[in-house]
Amino acid sequence: MSKLHEIKNFKTEVSGLFLMALIVVLMPLASMAATVTFDYETLGTAWGGPHGNSPGDHIFTEDNVDVYVQNFHLGAYTGFHETRIDPAIAVFGSNQILWISNIDVKFDFSGAPGAPNKVTFDYADFGGDENLQVNGGPLLEIPNFMALNGVVVAPGVTCWVTEIPIGGNIKGQVTLEGQVGKVIVGGQELYIDNMRLDDEEPHECDYLVSHDFEPLGMAWGSGYGNVPGDLAFIEDNIPVILEDFYVSTYTFFNMARIDPVWSGFGNLQCVQLNNISLRYAIYALGITVSSVTFEYVDMGGTENIQVNGASIYIGDLASAPVNIAPGVSFQVVTYPIGGGVRGEVTLTGNVQDLRLGGQEFWVDEVCVYAGEELICDHLMTYEPLAVGTMFGAPVGTTPGNIVYVEDAILMGTDVITYGTGGTAYSFAEVVTSPTACLDDNVLNLNNIAAYFDLGAMDAPIQAVIFDYIDFGGLENLRVNNGALYIGDLHNAPVNIAPGITCQVTTIPDGGGLCGQVILTGDVKYLLVAGQEFFIDNICVILGTETGIDDQVTSMKRVELSPNFPNPFNPTTKLVYSLEESGHVRLSVHDVLGRRVAVLVDETRTAGSHTQEWLGRDDAGKLVPSGIYFARIEAAGEVHTRKLALTK
């Protein structure tokens, strides 16, 4: 089985866009019913007594949450001073945060969708006392939020608090478990961020390199007897390997060191990179990855990032390209900190190999989100064949003839075509996998092509996926009646054939290149050829639909209208109508079917409804430019619309 993905061969009832989501895994982040990030208000905007407001005034609405200002109480003292939108500070916050000074702020979640079973918010306490009130219960005047840890703060609502010291102050998170509709938070020198209403438990990292388990001060590099390629350490089964660092045409190999929390950055410990790179060998886990996140501080100089062996990006990490590697997108959120930049990076896709380097650069919390197992309707593994089974010229197989059938997939052999126009027809042989990235039997293509006839499948094909190992030479790839591609397989064009897209993910392994190809669309014929090439796990996913499009069927009970504006940046409105009341699920997906955000998941009345999408995923992060699809499920019907986000 492949270390790029594990495949199970069993049938599934899932179809349409949700079936497509099985091709590449869903982003396993928390699904937020509502999140107030304070990022949509103008920086520096302030409310309160000095700004002409009165207690009870509504100041803004974000993500269907109404926000008001109220009096602050401390014994006999009543204050109504100021709350203000500030930039994130070195020790706290993401992008923009809310500063609270002797005032209370009320968050009303009654207009937000989702089950109100928990509210959380982040805070930084720089002094003074706090207020907290939930659901109109008693207004609690407290010296700090930790005083409420484990306390029932309103009927059916328990408060939990975690916090850490930050330079004489406090940073923490408050969790209110129970049915929460309204929350009042106040303080004297208080910052808050990410006030969110959760509709499910947050998804924690499946694998995490926190740098907390190596001795503080431990260092590696040229001055410590290391050479590029040496193993520095292993954490959570992920090897971390030392590598060169590049600036223009120069190569460096200086020092990596385990540092303590640095100016508020890092959990317990972080790693400093000083003209050196670290490679996080995620492929050692043997899993499919849906995304990887990490945090960093950049105090100057140049950075390196490389994903899955693609080209190394050299430059300011905040300016790295969105398409960082085939099938993997790059997204970064940054904000200034005392003389430098702090950032949070999300890599979306099957990240198997991550290389990071810098000059005055700190990294922490490299978090790997594992994907779900891939479900194949039909699967060719070559396991029924004995090692040594051969097809091709040496055994008299004729080009164009079917030579093997497994699980309704028909395979034949054909000639390989070279870039000069010449052809060859040598042999294909079942062998044991030559590297660790594929297990068991694989088919060695030695100057020959294998083709797969899928025309007899009993339903339209949603996607075809296969694994390979390439040790050199060139490859051929042809899908349906598309043009024959000749060259390195990992450079195959995205639009490989009419109506078919091609995505290739690779990692280096055993002196070769281990890869996975995803062909999205109704594939009826597939030809793959190579010279020092091994292929395995030809996975066919069926469905009742022919793919994602923006057409609405003729059903009348549910209608999803075109969004407006379209293209858009960063928000757009979706209008849908229901013939009768019922449960509605409105979600946004990317072009490969991965769920990006759930906008509605509740009962709605008959009639027309408008829902805004803010261009953010379920975790509240801005998504990259590109094509997305809105999908509505209601009254037993499913409809989609194409959305174009441009930046």
Give the DSSP letter string of 68-137.
Answer: EEE-EEETTEEE--EEEEEEEETTEEEEEEEEEESEEEEEE-TTS-S---EEEEEEEE-SS-EEEEETT-
- Say how far apart CA 266 and CA 259 lie, in whole Å: 9
Q: What's the pLDDT score for residue 631?
A: 84
| Residue 499 resides in a domain | yes
Q: What's the pLDDT score for residue 32?
A: 42
Q: Looking at the structure, do residues 283 and 346 belong to the same domain, yes or no?
A: yes
Residue among 177, 151, 152, 149 at smallest CA distance from 162: 149
Q: Looking at the structure, do residues 334 and 354 belong to the same domain, yes or no?
A: yes
SS3 label, residue 17:
helix
**Of residues 627 and 357, more confidently modeled:** 357
Residue among 61, 199, 83 at smallest CA distance from 131: 83
**Of residues 264 and 286, more confidently modeled:** 286
Per-residue pLDDT tens digits for 510-559:
788 888 898 888 999 999 999 999 999 999 988 643 333 333 334 457 88
| Residue 139 resides in a domain | yes
Residue among 498, 485, 552 at smallest CA distance from 524: 498
Q: What's the pLDDT score for residue 47?
A: 97
**Of residues 116 and 109, more confidently modeled:** 109
Query: Is the predicted pLDDT of residue 500 greater than 50, yes or no?
Result: yes
Q: Looking at the structure, do residues 366 and 387 belong to the same domain, yes or no?
A: no
Q: What's the pLDDT score for residue 234?
A: 92
Torsion sign, CA atoms 575, 579, 581, 586: negative
Q: Looking at the structure, do residues 270 and 403 belong to the same domain, yes or no?
A: no
- Say how far apart CA 359 and CA 340 lie, in whole Å: 13
Q: What's the pLDDT score for residue 92?
A: 84
Give the DSSP letter string of 480-545.
Answer: TTSPPEEE-GGG--S--BTTBEEEEEEEEETTEEEEEEEEES---EEEEEESSEEEEEEEEEE-SS
Q: Looking at the structure, do residues 232 and 122 belong to the same domain, yes or no?
A: no
Q: What is the Cα 448 distance to its own chain's centre?
A: 38
Q: What's the pLDDT score for residue 642?
A: 77
Q: What's the pLDDT score for residue 156?
A: 86
Helix (H) or strand (E) segment spanning residue 372: none
Q: What's the pLDDT score for residue 28?
A: 31
Q: Looking at the structure, do residues 443 and 531 belong to the same domain, yes or no?
A: yes
**Of residues 442 and 28, more confidently modeled:** 442
**Of residues 198 and 642, more confidently modeled:** 642
- Say how far apart CA 411 and CA 528 lie, in whole Å: 11
Q: Looking at the structure, do residues 395 and 537 belong to the same domain, yes or no?
A: yes
Q: Looking at the structure, do residues 46 and 193 belong to the same domain, yes or no?
A: yes
Structural domain of 300: 207-370
Last residue of one domain, picked from the residues 317, 351, 370 = 370
Mean per-residue pLDDT of the chain: 85
Q: What's the pLDDT score for residue 2?
A: 44
**In the structure, what pLDDT confidence band is assigned to residue 374 with cuts at 50, 70 and 90?**
low
Q: Looking at the structure, do residues 529 and 476 belong to the same domain, yes or no?
A: yes
Buried/exposed 227-258: b ≥16 CB within 10 Å, e otherwise: ebeeebbebeebbbbbbbbbbeeeebbebbbb
**In the structure, what pLDDT confidence band is assigned to residue 48 with cuts at 50, 70 and 90?**
very high
Q: What's the pLDDT score for residue 10?
A: 31
Q: What's the pLDDT score for residue 634?
A: 86
**In the structure, what pLDDT confidence band is assigned to residue 6 with cuts at 50, 70 and 90?**
very low
The residue with tokens 């070195």 is: 90
Per-residue pLDDT tens digits for 319-371:
999 889 877 889 887 777 777 888 889 998 889 889 999 999 999 999 999 87
Mean pLDDT, range 591-606, rounded to an integer: 81
Contact partners, residue 61, CB within 8 Å, separation at least 6: 67
Q: What's the pLDDT score for residue 5?
A: 40
| Residue 476 resides in a domain | yes
Mean pLDDT, range 212-216, rounded to an integer: 91
| Residue 1 resides in a domain | no
Q: What percent of the chain has pLDDT over 70?
A: 89
Nearest 5°: CA angle at 447, between 441 and 452? 60
Q: Which value, in Å, is the radius of gyration of the alpha carbons in the chain?
A: 28
- Say how far apart CA 427 and CA 449 lie, in whole Å: 9
Q: What percent of the chain has pLDDT over 90?
A: 52
Whether the CB-CB separation of 207 and 236 falls below 8 Å is answered with: yes
| Residue 566 resides in a domain | yes
Q: What's the pLDDT score for residue 411?
A: 95
| Residue 547 resides in a domain | no
| Residue 548 resides in a domain | no
Per-residue pLDDT tens digits for 301-317:
999 999 988 889 999 99
The tally of domains found in the chain comes to: 4
Give the DSSP letter string of 458-488.
Answer: SS-EEEEEEEEEE-SS-EEEEETTSPPEEE-
**In the structure, what pLDDT confidence band is assigned to residue 23 with cuts at 50, 70 and 90?**
very low
Query: Is the predicted pLDDT of residue 72 greater than 50, yes or no?
Result: yes
Q: Looking at the structure, do residues 302 and 403 belong to the same domain, yes or no?
A: no
Tokens describing residue 157: 């609502």
Q: What's the pLDDT score for residue 592?
A: 53
Cis peptide, bond prior to residue 570, ω within 30 of zero = yes
Per-residue pLDDT tens digits for 405-427:
998 899 999 999 999 889 999 99
Where in 275-408 does DSSP place strands (E)? Answer: 276-280, 289-298, 303-307, 313-315, 329-337, 340-348, 354-358, 361-370, 374-376, 378-380, 390-392, 402-406
H helices present in 252-352, as ranges = none
Q: Looking at the structure, do residues 526 and 567 belong to the same domain, yes or no?
A: no
**Of residues 483 and 283, more confidently modeled:** 483
SS3 label, residue 261:
strand
CA dihedral 558, 561, 567, 568 (to 10 degrees): -80
What is the model's pTM?
A: 0.49
Last residue of one domain, picked from the residues 168, 198, 228 = 198
Whether the CB-CB separation of 424 and 439 falls below 8 Å is answered with: no
Last residue of one domain, picked from the residues 370, 388, 414 = 370
Whether the CB-CB separation of 539 and 340 falls below 8 Å is answered with: no
CATH of the domain at 605: 2.60.40.4070
CATH of the domain at 279: 2.60.120
Mean pLDDT, range 54-72, rounded to an integer: 94
Bridge partners of residue 370, in order along the sequence: 289
Mean pLDDT, range 177-185, rounded to an integer: 91
Q: What's the pLDDT score for residue 196?
A: 87
Q: What's the pLDDT score for residue 520?
A: 84
The residue with tokens 């103008």 is: 42
| Listed range (467-481, 504-518, 543-557, 566-580) with the worst mean pLDDT | 543-557
Q: Looking at the structure, do residues 566 and 533 belong to the same domain, yes or no?
A: no
- Say how far apart CA 143 and CA 193 lie, in whole Å: 20
Tokens describing residue 88: 């994130």
The Cβ of residue 500 has, within 10 Å, a number of other Cβ atoms equal to 22
| Residue 550 resides in a domain | no
Q: What's the pLDDT score for residue 556?
A: 53
**In the structure, what pLDDT confidence band is assigned to residue 4 with cuts at 50, 70 and 90?**
very low
The answer for 454, left when phi > 0, alpha when psi is -120 to 50, beta otherwise, is alpha
